[in-house]
Amino acid sequence: MLTAEQRRAKIGAVFRVSSGNFLEMYDFMVYGYYASYIGKTFFPAESEFASLMLSLATFGAGYLMRPLGALLLGSYIDRKGRRAGLILTLALMAVGTLTIALTPGYAVLGPVAPLLVVIGRLLQGLSAGVELGGVSIYLSEISTPGNRGFYCSWQSASQQVAVMFAALIGVALTMLLPPEEMTRWGWRVPLLIGCLIIPLILFLRRSLQETEEFQHRKHRPSGREVLSIIAANWRLVVVGMMLSIMTTTTFYLITAYTPTFGRQALHLAVQDNLLVTLCVGFSNFLWLPIGGALSDRIGRRPLLLLIPTLALVTAYPAMSWLVAEPTFGKLLMVELWFSFFFGIYNGAMIPLLAEMMPAEVRTAGFSLAFSLATAIFGGFTPAVCTYLIEMTGNRASPGLWLSLAAAISLTAAIAVRRVTKADKQQASVAADAVPAAVGK
């Protein structure tokens, strides 16, 4: 039982470590919300669709850097410590955000402008490749017995605060500025606000204490050891990636893609789309700790089987019902239903992913699995859904994309117990063998 002082210390640690996760998600959401404006500024093309696709492809390109960030920065965190690594990821995110916010448009710099934006996105992606994993592992290692799911849920919950904050700013801007001013300079305001928050979050992160579990660890693996242990447990990484596909796809579908989907496909008012996104962020914030706490009580696997099954049965019918006669109320209902999927599933999946990975490479393994899911599936959700609607003419096709993600994650949930048991046995062998091999 924790004393009052210990409880306050735990709450403070959760707040400080999650603050950087807030900024990481805020910056990513802002780009997704204003993709059409960014496309017109940096990617002028012969059609609005082409301009938007170039902007969304750049949004997705940041995710291609995530696996590299997971290995490089995840290895650094597993060697040097959770605190040092989380400060480094925040610094990289800050540089990427400043680059995008301050780069003049195509009309001023020509082809150099989109190149700089891509570089900024790649830096953001490199940082984000380990940010979520680093925070999740930190929370799992400071959690009290029997509450790991609940503790880990606050990593994702902090992201929902970012979703709501970005949406609120968007609602205010669209009410205050006409569309031409939003295109000219208004979309930069949320990014600049994110830049102003950076010093505060850096201060909070610098006051983090290293986790006791990491401090007590006798062996700190080298970069070569990290790669060897991960290679020996590649099946864990693959299953972890498959488990993560459901959560990454659902999240980007109901947050980053909602303003674009509502405006481009449903022709709803910009304010309505952002208001729906705001409600989704609040709904996610409520469901995540419930999902985490529920997984602590009944186990992770039952929830990981239930939610993908529900998504398979209802995702496409729900989207078909929405697009038949789009309204603000129907969009809100569908998005809140998908929000339930995300919150409960993610609340169980994140702690399981932390528990699956060998202790020596917990951050790198977790981050690699999650970042691969994001790079291959989740991060490109806005671009894929936009393309599917354009090519098929079926505005409900994003429901098929979500159904495919659910099928993949359901397959992984069925297989996870067998694969985890087999690979954890191999992990202990690899961990013992690698130091001896390196010393030869």
Does residue 282 lie within any of the structural domains? yes
**Other Cβ atoms within 10 Å of 305 Cβ, number:** 15
Does residue 385 lie within any of the structural domains? yes
Burial of 238 (0-12, 13-18, 19+ CB in 10 A): middle
- Using CA atoms in the order 260, 265, 271, 273, what is the torsion angle rounded to 10 degrees? -70
pLDDT of residue 379: 77
What tens digit of pLDDT does each residue of 76-108 get? 888 888 888 888 888 888 888 888 888 888 888
For residue 370, what are the domain limits? 13-197+222-434
pLDDT of residue 428: 45
Q: How many residues does the chain have?
A: 440
Percent of the chain at pLDDT above 70? 93
On whether the CB atoms of residues 359 and 229 are closer than 8 A, the answer is no
pLDDT of residue 438: 32
DSSP letters of 161-207? HHHHHHHHHHHHHHHHS-HHHIIIIITHHHHHHHHHHHHHHHHHHHT
Does residue 24 lie within any of the structural domains? yes
d(C-alpha 288, C-alpha 273), whole Å: 22
355 vs 160, 239, 346, CA distance in Å? 24, 13, 14
**Which of 157, 189, 196 has its CA nearest to residue 172?**
189
Give me the CATH number covering residue 334: 1.20.1250.20
Does residue 25 lie within any of the structural domains? yes
pLDDT of residue 423: 55
Does residue 169 lie within any of the structural domains? yes
What tens digit of pLDDT does each residue of 270-323 get? 888 888 988 998 999 999 999 999 999 999 999 999 999 999 999 999 999 999
d(C-alpha 262, C-alpha 217), whole Å: 50
Does residue 1 lie within any of the structural domains? no
Domain count, the chain: 1
Residues of the chain with pLDDT under 50: 424-425, 427-440
